[in-house]
Structure 1
Amino acid sequence: MGTILNMSIIMSAILYQILVIQLLLNMCSAKEVPAIFVFGDSLYEVGNNFYLDTVAKPTLPNGIDFTKGKRRASGRYTNARTILDIIEEELGFTNYTPPYLSPQTTGDVILKGVNYASSGSGIFNSTGSKFGDHICMDEQINNFAKSRQDITSKIGAVATRKLLRDALYFIAIGANDIILLSSNVSLSQVENIKYLDNMISKFKSQLMRVYNLDARKIAVTSAAPLGCIPFERDKFSIDDCVPHVNELAKLYNVRLKILLSELTKHLAGSIFIYMNSYTMLEDVLQNYKSYGFTNANSACCRVYGKHGGKLPCIFFARVCPNRTQFVFWDAYHPTEKANFILAKHALDGNRQYISPINIRQLVNS
C-alpha cells in the first residue's frame, strides 16, 4: 500500500513539472502582446476594491504567498497568483496589469494595459450591492473609455486604435449574478431561464460597447461549476456539488457560447474566445489526485462551515499550511496551483477547454 501511495505522489509531481516545463518552453515562441485590458469580478481583481467603501476587500491572508518574505495583501483572491497573472507572465509581461483605481496607474503605465475588475460585481448593475461599493460591468467599461481617452492624448488617435486592436481583453463576469439567482430556490424553471436570457441580453450590449471602443481580441470566461465551490456546498449543507446550481451555470454557458459565436460572425475583425472554465475546473475536480491535490471540496483559508464556505477569507481566518494540496483557496476561488492548471488549459488547451482557438493561437492570429 505504501509503495502504491509513493508511486502516486511521484507521478503527480512529474505531471505537474511537465506542465511547468511546457509553459517555460512556450515562452520563447509567443508573439509580443502590446497590452492587456481586464474586466470582471474577484476572479480577476488585483486591488481595485481597496479604493472603495466595501466589505469585499482582498486583505490578508489573501495573497499570503504572492510576495516571498513580505507579508502584505496583493489585491488578489487567492494565496498567490491568479489565472491571469500566470497568463500574463507566460505572454512575456514583466509587470502585472495594474488596478485602474491605483494612483500609480497613470502615464505610460496604461499603455501596457489596465485591470478594471472589481470583487462582487456582475453583469447586472445591482449585483454585489449588498457588499457596498463595487464597480459593475457597465462602469468598468466607462472606465475603459476614460483610459482610451488618456491613451489617445498621449500617442494620438491612429496609434491608439492600433494599440487597442492588437491588445488582448480578458473578461470574467456573471458568476455573482448566477450565485444570486441560485439562492432563490422558489423560482420556477421559466423564471430562471428568463433571468439568464436577460443576463445574456445585457452582456451582449456590454460586449458590443467594448468592441466599439476598439477591442478586437476578447477572451470571455464562462461560468464555472459553481455548485462545487465550498460556499454552495455549505449553503445547501451537502458534501457533493449542488446540482441545481451547476445546472444554472450550464444553461448560462450554452447561451454565452452562442452569443460569442454570433458576435464574432457579425462584428468585423473581432474574435470572441469562449474560455470554458466549467470543463477546466471540472477536469481539476474530477482528477484532483492525478494533479497532486488531496482536497477538492473545502477551502484552505476558512472561518467556519464544514467546507469552510460560510464566510470569506478574512483577517482572522485559519490558513492551511499545505496550500499546494487544496484546489480551493477560499469559499469561492482556486489556489495558485489550481490556477496554474486552469491557465495552462487557457493558453494551450484544445476546443474542449477553449474555442474556437486558445490564447496562444489568439496572440499569434
Structure 2
Amino acid sequence: MDDRKELMLSRLWRTAFIIASMYVDAQNAQLVPALFIFGDSLVDVGNNNHILLSLVKANFPHNGVDYPAGKATGRFSNGLNSADFVGQKLGFGGSPLPYLSLQGQANFSSSILNGVNFASGGAGILDENSGGSLSMNKQVEYYATVYGNLAAQLGSAEAEKLVAKSLFVVVVGSDDLFSYFKSNSKLQAKYTPQQYVDLLISTLKAQLERIYNLGARRIVSVGVGTVGCCPSQRSQKNKTGDCVEEVNNLARDFNDALKSLLSSQLTPNLQGFTYAFCNTYGVTSSYFQNPSVYGFKDVVNACCGAGKLNARVPCLPVVKYCSNRGEYLFWDLYHPTQIVSQMLVDAFYEGSVDQVSPINVKQLIST
C-alpha cells in the first residue's frame, strides 16, 4: 500500500471514530468545568439558525453531509467544526450548545453549567461588520447574562471558581478583514490599514477585558488564518487565482497586533490572566506550501460550490460537492473541511511554540 492510500485510510478510520464518539458518553472526565466559545462561522454550531433575518446560515444541504446522519446543523462545514473538536479534546463530546437555542428553555440554568457557544456566522469585532449576526459585543453581553445566572444558581463564590477554571475560546477577526476589502466598503476611505488594525485591537481589548472582569482567566485566542488564500478572495480579486497578498498582509498585521495585545497589555495588567495564541496563519501556510505532506490534493478550489474555483456560487443544495472531501482544504468559498478543523485543533492542543504560544492549550488548562 502506498503512503497516500495509507494516509487516506487513516483519515477515514479517524473520521469514523469521531462520528461514533458523538453517540457515546465521553470516556474521559471533563478536563475543565465548562467551555465558552465566542466567534464567527468557523465555530458557529447553530446560533444563526435562530436569527430570523440573518442571511448567513448553513442549516441546509450540502452542509453536514459528513455529520452524523448527514444532518445540516448550522455548521459551515461538511461535518464537525473546530468548536466540536475542542469540546472533544476536553471531554465534553463536542461543542457546547448554541446560546440562542437555550433562550427561553426551561432547562436553561442546567444547560449552561458545562458552557455555552455564542459564536455566530458573520460576526465581527466591530458591530458595523456583523450585519444581522451576533457581533462580538453582543456575544459578550450574552455571556454576562450567563454569568449572572451561574452566580444566582451557585452563589457568587462558586460561580467565580467554576468560570476561573473553565476555558474560553475566541475565534474572531476574519469577517472584519473581509469587510475592509469589500468593493462597496467605505472602510478603506476612512482608515489606513494600520489605523484599521488599531481600531480592531482596541475594540477587542475592551471585549476581552470585560470577559476577564466576568471571571474568565484562561483564554485561547485564535489568530486569523491565510484569509487571502480562500476561494472567495482568489476568485474575486485575482485573475490568476493566486492568493491575494493585500488581504494576507492585513491578516499578518492583525495577528502581530493581537499577540502584542495578549503579551504586553493584558498579561501584565490582568492578575491571573493566562492565554494560548493559536498561529492559524503559520499552520495553514504550511498546508499551502506542502499540500501533499498533509494529504491534500486541492488547496485552491472549494469542495462545494460552482463557478470559478467553485467560489462564485456558494454551497447551496443546487450545486455539486466533491466526493474526496478529506483531500480538500476548503469545504466552501470561505470555510475549511472537517479534516482541516481537526488538524488545526490537534496542532493547537499539543503543538509546539511555532504553532501555539507561549503555551499550548493542553498546558493552559493545567495552569
**Contact conserved, 2:95 with 2:117, CA < 8 A, in 1?**
no
Matches within 5 A, 1:322-341: 322-341=324-343
Q: Report % sequence identity.
A: 33
**Could you tell me how far apart the structure 2 residues matched to 1:307 and 1:265 are?**
46
Q: Which of 268, 271, 274 lines up with 1:265 in the alignment?
A: 268
Which shows bigger deviation, 111-120 or 97-106? 97-106
Q: Which of 3, 7, 15 lines up with 2:2 in the alignment?
A: 7
- Aligned partner letter, 2:160: R
**Could you tell me how far apart the structure 1 residues matched to 2:194 and 2:14 are?**
39
Q: Does 1:201 align with 2:198?
A: no
Matches within 5 A, 1:117-196: 117-129=119-131, 133-183=132-182, 187=188, 191-196=192-197
Check 1:356–1:15 CA distance in 2 against 1; reply closer, same or farther (3 A cut).
farther
**Contact conserved, 2:218 with 2:273, CA < 8 A, in 1?**
yes
- Aligned partner letter, 1:278: Y
**Could you tell me how far apart the structure 2 residues matched to 1:15 and 1:358 are?**
25
- Aligned partner letter, 1:152: A
Measured against aligned partners, the alpha-carbon deviations of 1:300-325 in whole angstroms (never above 9, x if no partner) come to: 111x3321222432232311111111
Alpha-carbon distance, 1:59 to partner: 1.9
Which shows bigger deviation, 100-109 or 156-165? 100-109
Alpha-carbon distance, 1:241 to partner: 1.0
Which shows bigger deviation, 274-283 or 306-315? 306-315
Q: Which of 97, 110, 113 lines up with 2:112 in the alignment?
A: 110
**Could you tell me how far apart the structure 1 residues matched to 2:230 and 2:159 are?**
40
The alignment partner of 2:127 has SS state of coil
Q: Which residue of 1 aligns with 2:253?
A: 251
Q: Which residue of 2 aligns with 1:217?
A: 218
Alpha-carbon distance, 1:179 to partner: 0.9
**Contact conserved, 1:40 with 1:116, CA < 8 A, in 2?**
yes
Q: Does 1:350 align with 2:352?
A: yes
The alignment partner of 2:99 has SS state of coil
**Could you tell me how far apart the structure 2 residues matched to 1:310 and 1:86 are?**
29
Alpha-carbon distance, 1:34 to partner: 0.7
Alpha-carbon distance, 1:7 to partner: 3.0
Alpha-carbon distance, 1:32 to partner: 1.7
Q: Which residue of 1 aligns with 2:233?
A: 232
Q: Does 1:282 align with 2:277?
A: no
Measured against aligned partners, the alpha-carbon deviations of 1:331-352 in whole angstroms (never above 9, x if no partner) come to: 1111011111111111111111
**Contact conserved, 1:59 with 1:314, CA < 8 A, in 2?**
no
**Could you tell me how far apart the structure 2 residues matched to 1:180 and 1:320 are?**
29
**Contact conserved, 2:11 with 2:326, CA < 8 A, in 1?**
no
Q: Which residue of 2 aligns with 1:56?
A: 56
Q: Which residue of 2 aligns with 1:98?
A: 97
Q: After TM superposition, where is structure 1 displaced by more than 6 Å over at least 4 residues in a row?
A: 17-20, 27-31
Alpha-carbon distance, 1:226 to partner: 0.6
Alpha-carbon distance, 1:19 to partner: 9.0
The alignment partner of 2:128 has SS state of coil
Check 1:17–1:297 CA distance in 2 against 1; reply closer, same or farther (3 A cut).
same
Check 1:155–1:183 CA distance in 2 against 1; reply closer, same or farther (3 A cut).
same
- Supply the RMSD in Å over aligned alpha carbons: 2.5
- Aligned partner letter, 1:159: E
